[in-house]
Structures are given as C-alpha cells and as structure tokens.
Structure 1
C-alpha cells in the first residue's frame, strides 16, 4: 500500500497569505530552512496507478502538479484519482472538490452522513457539482470496514473523533458522531495498517485502540502549545476550542507527544496538519529536536510511505 502526503499544513498553509509570523516570513524568503506547505491531504493506492484522495484541499491543483504519477495518461482525458474520502466538512478539506468538476463521470465521494448534509446545505458543494460532473455519494458507516472498487486491495474503517464541525454546520456547538472521523487504512494482502487523523481534540478508547493497531500513524500536529494562538495575539481560542490536541500537555492533560510515546515500539509516528505558527516547522528549533528524541517525524509535502 502506497501513501503520499499531498499537503501537510493546516488551514491557510505555509506561508499563510496574510500572516507574518516567523515561520511564514522564513517560508517566503526561500532559504529552505522552513519549507512551504499546502493544506492537508493524503493519497492512498494499492497499485500506484489508481489513487484515493483523503480530503480535497484548496491547494489540490498544485499538489497534483507536484505528483505527476497521479496522472497516468491512459486516455486523452484521464486521472489517477478514483474517489475521494472526507474526514470532515472543513473548508480546507473539501473545497478542492471544485477543482475536480471537469470529470467526465460522477465523482465517487465517501463521507459520513453529517458531512454529506453539510456539503448539501451550509456549504452546498454537492448540488453545485451536480451542474458539472455530478457526485456519486457513498455514506460511510462508522466502525464498518469498506473498500472502494478502483482500489479494492485497500480497506478503510472510520472512527468518530472529538473535534469541531465547521462554522456553517448546525452541529458546530455540539458535534455529532460522523462530523469528524479518523481512518484506519489496511492493506488487505499484507495486513499492514495506517492511521490518519488530521483533526483530533481528544483520544478516546476506540481511537487509541486503532492507533495501537497501526504501523504508521499520521496524526494532528496543528499546535505545539494549547495557548499558541493566544500567546501570539492571533486568537482568543485555545487549541481545544478549535478541535485540536496540542503536542504539549496542558494542566495535567496529556499532549499528543504523550499519546504517541505510548504506541508500540516500531510504530512510525508522523505529525501532519501543522499550523503555520507551530515552532516544529523550523528544523533547527528545540521543539523539532524534542520530537526527534521521541521518534516523531514532522510531515512535509511529498513524503511517501509504503505500508
């Protein structure tokens, strides 16, 4: 099973268009110390030809240009993108769907019912695409493995996670199961597994168990500190208020580093969906060095894994 990180940044990417934090300035200066990052998405394949997108970022076209093997060119109009699976209905995970409107057949779209509802009402991308390629919607049932015909050597299982529904969702103040999911992705032939969760506010029992079953864990790396945005004067919200578990613990509550430390020896651990303010983006920072001491990698666009 092949997995590509198409985008490793949080909403806005790096540099964010209107931000002049230290990371954004250094990403703009071209020195190479702090690498630019597009907004988060991965692609999964069992044969390296047909691919499943997990989330469709606003930066999708740039991501595809950087990954020419997702364009196998078997016909005059062709793409390696066989389907899209959504982890939530957030703008930075769904607006890339509009970039796929030139398809000649309806787009296979796999998402939980609350996400499909949000994309038919508050952010009506599904009816909008009906005027172009159309959408072949497949509701995901939580906890039940499913396969996608074009990549039937890969099996997905969705788990509800604690995070936030988008501001245009009726569930914003009180999320319902399926607003946000993590995915356990399994290679049917080998039994090897990857866990993907770009947004995690808490780690509950089912999510913890799924992480422990995975050989590769790609997980929420949005913030270093719970008060990161407050400390920089960018927001009045803590990380949890925005649906994210910071890497550092907070008031006795374990942070993401603590949870990752508890995984079995040999698990590949990678932080993704990294906000532009997070000091781990600087490979020379003390925070980045601390992650390395704990055996945790920082995702970058274009990273590839075989699981």
Structure 2
C-alpha cells in the first residue's frame, strides 16, 4: 500500500483471493473505501505473481467475468509466466478478454510504480513445472523489503542470495517446513524447500543480516503454534515469524 499515491498492490493471487482483497482494504491508501459496485481496478492497482504453483496464481479465477469482472487490471509477471497464462485456459480467457493486462517484468530491471514505491524482480531457484520463479526487492522511501515465499535452495542463484540480503532492510523468506520430518511419506525432492532450521544455521553464520521473517508456512509446520519449541528456536536466533496482518513500513 502506498498511502501517498493512493495505490494498492497484491503479491500473489492465492485461492483465497477474496480475503486478500478484503484485508488489503483495511489498510488505508489515501482513498475512500470502494462501494460494492466500484470496479476492482479502481482500488486494486496491480497484482505481482512470483510463479505458477497452485497457491500463488489460481486466485486469478476470481477476477474474470463470473467474478469481479476486472478491466485491464495490471498483472506483473515473468516472461514464462506471461506465456503460461496466455497459452492455457481458463487464464487465457482473462488475457483475451482484457480482464488483465500483462506487464512482463525483466529480472534486475527496476520498475517504478509511484513516486515513493518501486521494485526489482530477480530469479529464484525453484522447481519449474510450468514457469520460472521471481522474488522481489520492494523499495520504499527509506527501506527495502525482500520477498521470497518459495525457493528450493539458497545457493546457486543468478544473483547470489547473500547479495540480495545485503540490499535489503527486511526479508520475508520461505519457511514452508521447519524440518523435513514433516514430509511423512513424501520425498524431499518432490517438494524441495529450505527447512527453517537449515536457514537459521546458514543465516546465523553471516553478519549484517536484515530483519529476517519466515513466511509461507505449510500446515504441518509447528511454527503455526506460537508456544511451540520451534518458535523459541527462531526467536532465540534473532529471527521472526510473519503473521497475518503484519505491516512493514518502507
């Protein structure tokens, strides 16, 4: 939310997209809250997608003709995500009928959204069944927030993970699993994510970290319980767990 410009943006369209929009509207953006009949694009000014996995883009189904019936709502995506949406139904219907306006992002090219808000996309190493994966550096007037909800590993990126941390004041990082013990019958290779415990070990060994907040918790993750031992481990390491409704001022 940019209150100076009166603009609101969403990062990733989850299956619970309606709740995302509803919660976004609880944060004032310098404009009056919309009436029920106001078009979506008048109070939501863009959606940024990280990648083509279920929890990150399927909420787009709500903005077509049978839902909000948006008109040319800016949808910021990577080139491979743009191709995927354009070539596969029902997403192609949204593009073809101008419910969304695809804006193709180029990695490491800074995009200015308002006078006080810009972002820099970058490529993240994450499994690519349908598309590649983007992370974002979100730049405000005073601070930069790094957003990486999904990754396979923290190493081997085109732009090194450590360099991106050094360019950030706070970071929202993949915290899907606290440990691989949560996977049960599933193989680690089927759902590769850096376990939070391993991320803590990696980050604790370096100096000059930004604020670290883990997000994107799987339902098996004990970090959902604020009284769990695992929460104490994260807190004792000097890191945090992002909670619903939390605000980061940039």
Coarse TM-score class (shorter-chain normalised): 0.7 to 0.9
Structure 2 residue 107 is matched with structure 1 residue 153: no
State the Cα distance separating 1:48 from its structure 2 match. Answer: 7.4
* Residue 103 of structure 2: aligned partner: 138
* Residue 118 of structure 1: aligned partner: 84
- What TM-score do you get using the length of structure 2 for normalisation? 0.85
* Residue 53 of structure 1: aligned partner: 10
Q: Is the 8 A contact 2:70 2:99 kept in 1?
A: no
TM-aligned CA distance change 1:52 to 1:100, over 3 Å: same
State the Cα distance separating 1:67 from its structure 2 match. Answer: 3.9
Deviations 1:131-177 (A, max 9, x none): 655221111111111123xx3421211111111124xx2x6xxxxxx
* Residue 38 of structure 2: aligned partner: 77
* Residue 246 of structure 1: aligned partner: 195
Structure 2 residue 138 is matched with structure 1 residue 185: yes
State the Cα distance separating 1:182 from its structure 2 match. Answer: 1.2
Q: Is the 8 A contact 2:63 2:70 kept in 1?
A: no
Gapped regions of structure 2 (runs ≥ 5): none
Structure 2 residue 183 is matched with structure 1 residue 229: yes
Q: Is the 8 A contact 1:212 1:263 kept in 2?
A: no
Structure 2 residue 206 is matched with structure 1 residue 260: no
Cα distance in 2, alignment partners of residues 115 and 207 from structure 1: 22
Cα RMSD for the two superposed structures: 2.4
State the Cα distance separating 1:285 from its structure 2 match. Answer: 1.2
* Residue 163 of structure 2: aligned partner: 209
Say which SS state the counterpart of residue 291 (structure 1) adopts: helix
Structure 2 residue 236 is matched with structure 1 residue 279: no
Say which SS state the counterpart of residue 305 (structure 1) adopts: coil
TM-aligned CA distance change 1:135 to 1:220, over 3 Å: same
Cα distance in 2, alignment partners of residues 104 and 196 from structure 1: 26
Cα distance in 2, alignment partners of residues 49 and 262 from structure 1: 41
Cα distance in 1, alignment partners of residues 77 and 222 from structure 2: 33
State the Cα distance separating 1:263 from its structure 2 match. Answer: 5.6
TM-aligned CA distance change 1:201 to 1:114, over 3 Å: same
Cα distance in 1, alignment partners of residues 190 and 55 from structure 2: 18
- What TM-score do you get using the length of structure 1 for normalisation? 0.70
- Counting only pairs closer than 5 Å after superposition, residues 266-305 of structure 1 correspond to structure 2 as 267-305=210-248
Gapped regions of structure 1 (runs ≥ 5): 1-43, 172-178, 249-254
Cα distance in 2, alignment partners of residues 60 and 270 from structure 1: 22
